[in-house]
Structure 1
Amino acid sequence: MIDSKGIVIRNIYYMLAYAYQNLRQKNYTDIAAEDFENIQDLFAAILAEGISSQLRCGLALEYVQHSEELTSLRGKMDVMASYRLKKKRAGKLLCEYDELSENNLLNQILKTTAFILMRSKEVTRKNKIALKRAMQLFSGVDTLEISEIRWGRLCYHRNNQTYHMLMNICYLLLRNLLASTEKGEIQFAEFIDTQAMPRLYEKFILEYYKRHFPELHAHASQISWDTDDGYIDFLPTMQTDVSLYYGDKCLIIDAKYYRNTMQQNRNFDAKRLHSDNLYQIFSYVKNKDTLHKGNVMGLLLYAKTGEDIVLKREYSLSGSKIMIRTLDLTGEFSLIQSQLNEIAALLKL
């Protein structure tokens, strides 16, 4: 199924599978074969399976702080509060103590997201039932107000690493939430119009090359400014989306995801590339090529969604090769692979 902007929804699943390795496990294979009507139903299916898998391993337990009036000391006593209590109720102490609990932020986010999806008209009955079944073991977990979720408080370690992908799916969904209708139904923004999609697009490309072309040593790297005097205070950080290396050659890929690939010229009818994009990739290439050998290339890789435009241009600017291409996300995933493989081959020419 294709969404309203032209992207095949199954391709979004494949992009997620590259970005989050958990989705390559066997229990998710049935999801890859389904034809989803919309992105919310796809995410509901992923969460239903992911939560069920997590339940089989056991819900994460974390120490949660409690404050309670007790007749005997437990944990740490709040001296001033206990003194005030003693005047009102003899023998009572206000104690603060930590206790392992499943009612923690990770599980609260899962439950909140699942409940929202269960109210959405975009989610099929099948996936709503699957989510409801999984939620039966979350009776001791609270739900949260979305605006109060502190995503920065999430912390992963060996015992809860399996939550990482699930939390990212929840984040993508909850950041797309618009509002509830008068009937209590949930409305979502168009997923590919939000800030989440450009980040997924970048991460997918990076992870694709890491997996299929290990010899190219793909990573997102920082480029140092090639200054004459070494003074770099106040200069912005140059962070690449993808850098590929082969021998003494380097290809810097700047992944761009826009509603409109080209920008309209204000004074003329002709369309032009986003000027900031071109300045950016040119700056990356020239500062990376410190020996001025011309062996560093730059590529602006625009996501092609619902537009008809196809770009495949190459420019020689000050001795450096700058390329402009579109990556078509509207066809079968095998075609996306072919396009990415063709780009990798540029380094080996």
Structure 2
Amino acid sequence: MKKDNTIFIKNTYYMLSYAFSVLKQSNYDEIEGEDFDNIHNLFAAILSKGLSQQLKQGLYREYTNQTEDLAVMHGKIDMQGTIRNKIARKQMLTCNYDALSENNLLNQIIKTTVLMLIRHADVDIEYKSILKKEMLYFSDVEMIEPGAINWSTIRFHRNTQAYRMLISICRFIIEGMLLSTDKGGYKMATFIDEQRMSRLYEKFILEYYRKEYPHFDVRSSQIPWGIDDDMNDMLPVMQSDITLTYGNRVLIIDAKYYAHNTQSYFGPNKIHSSNMYQIFAYVKNKAYEEKTSSREISGMLLYARTDEAVQPDNEYRMSGNKISVKTLDLNQEFIAIAAQLNAIADELEG
């Protein structure tokens, strides 16, 4: 895919705004009005605003186990530690107790991410200064090894819902920027990593239609296999990126963010075969599921446009279903991006 300086930085913000609706709140308005010359400044600005808001509410604290030598008993006595103190002629009790602490995983992830940005050469001094001031409130929070974070284990509850966007942004930054160095340290890489941007691209399209077309049924849904019996053991899950339903029409969109949208083996450019097989399977199995209804099932491969000369823009009729292949040009003003997405919805509405 294109390097980050060939994609409008502002459009990354808009994509994030739909993916994380909290960015549409008033305290982020000035970010939308700023011009960013690189993606690092954009993320530094978003984090600084989010942290400012969180600090007003207070950092999340949770109970953690503490072990400490004390003059009086607090909690439970640690016998081994107390015996060691006795041998060393220390008149102290080693105690285990639970205490509310800001030194928890969520705050550790935030601190680690912010310090990564502060150390990055491309982040402007104004953002570094703001982030450094905010880090003063994290003095009791430890750093965490970025590569060791198990993101799948993180759960949010009523007291941590405000952290959801911050942690999601931190994950995007860490996974998209982190590279191991020969010396065992870390350095920053480009944000435009296909896998990470692909997830954001999918989420952006899904949330755009949810927000802008509330009269549509918009979801990322599983499609059952059209089997003739109950033998579905070991069949993979068919999970659509975006499914739009309006009236008796259903459009299954598979969002694709690649460096190359077509493939060529000593001949003309062709659509990626695996992509076409995938959307064909989605459409035909969805049609099988809806065989007793009058719904019209269609599919679309929606590629993020690259700067290659050949871009897919085709429409096919396959066994009674329409399957199209389109590109979404992210390298233009957002109003034009929205117009492309709106045209897809307008066609579905008919």
Deviations 1:214-240 (A, max 9, x none): 111100000111101121000000000
Deviates more, 1:234-243 or 1:298-307: 298-307
Whether the 8 Å contact between 1:220 and 1:243 is mirrored in structure 2 is: yes
What's the Cα RMSD here? 2.2
- Using the size of structure 1 for normalisation, the TM-score is 0.91
Q: CA deviation at 1:306?
A: 3.2
CA distance in 2, matches of 1:150, 1:97: 27
Q: CA deviation at 1:130?
A: 1.3
User: Are positions 1:339 and 2:340 aligned together?
Assistant: yes
* Runs (5+) with no aligned partner, structure 1: none
What SS does the corresponding residue of 2:94 show, helix, strand or coil? strand
CA distance in 1, matches of 2:128, 2:180: 19
* Runs (5+) with no aligned partner, structure 2: none
Give the direction of change, closer, same or farther, for the CA distance of 1:277–1:257 in structure 2 (3 Å limit). Answer: same
Look up the match of 1:62: 62
Q: CA deviation at 1:145?
A: 2.3
Whether the 8 Å contact between 1:15 and 1:204 is mirrored in structure 2 is: yes
Give the direction of change, closer, same or farther, for the CA distance of 1:4–1:39 in structure 2 (3 Å limit). Answer: closer
Look up the match of 1:24: 24
Count of aligned residue pairs for this structure pair: 344
| Equivalent residue letter for 1:189 | A
CA distance in 1, matches of 2:90, 2:123: 55
Q: CA deviation at 1:27?
A: 1.3
CA distance in 1, matches of 2:88, 2:332: 72
Look up the match of 1:279: 277
| Equivalent residue letter for 2:191 | F
User: Are positions 1:136 and 2:136 aligned together?
Assistant: yes
Whether the 8 Å contact between 1:181 and 1:187 is mirrored in structure 2 is: no
What SS does the corresponding residue of 2:227 show, helix, strand or coil? coil
- Using the size of structure 2 for normalisation, the TM-score is 0.91
CA distance in 2, matches of 1:181, 1:79: 44
CA distance in 1, matches of 2:5, 2:131: 28
Give the direction of change, closer, same or farther, for the CA distance of 1:327–1:151 in structure 2 (3 Å limit). Answer: same
Which residues in structure 2 correspond to 1:301-316 (within 5 Å)?
A: 301-316=302-317
CA distance in 2, matches of 1:302, 1:319: 23
Whether the 8 Å contact between 2:262 and 2:271 is mirrored in structure 1 is: yes
| Equivalent residue letter for 2:51 | I
Look up the match of 2:264: 264
Q: CA deviation at 1:335?
A: 0.8
CA distance in 2, matches of 1:136, 1:247: 54
CA distance in 1, matches of 2:78, 2:207: 51
Look up the match of 1:219: 219
Which residues in structure 2 correspond to 1:97-112 (within 5 Å)?
A: 97-112=97-112
Give the direction of change, closer, same or farther, for the CA distance of 1:163–1:256 in structure 2 (3 Å limit). Answer: same
Deviates more, 1:125-134 or 1:147-156: 147-156
Q: CA deviation at 1:162?
A: 1.1
| Equivalent residue letter for 1:243 | T
Identity of aligned residues (%): 48
Q: CA deviation at 1:15?
A: 0.2
What SS does the corresponding residue of 1:98 show, helix, strand or coil? strand
What SS does the corresponding residue of 1:296 show, helix, strand or coil? strand
Q: CA deviation at 1:90?
A: 6.3
CA distance in 1, matches of 2:92, 2:245: 68
What SS does the corresponding residue of 1:192 show, helix, strand or coil? coil
| Equivalent residue letter for 2:221 | S
User: Are positions 1:248 and 2:219 aligned together?
Assistant: no
Which residues in structure 2 correspond to 1:68-87 (within 5 Å)?
A: 68-79=68-79, 82=82, 86-87=86-87
| Equivalent residue letter for 1:328 | D
Deviations 1:182-219 (A, max 9, x none): 9x9x7422212242110000000000000111111100
Look up the match of 1:289: 287
Q: CA deviation at 1:71?
A: 4.2
Which residues in structure 2 correspond to 1:188-199 (within 5 Å)?
A: 188-199=188-199
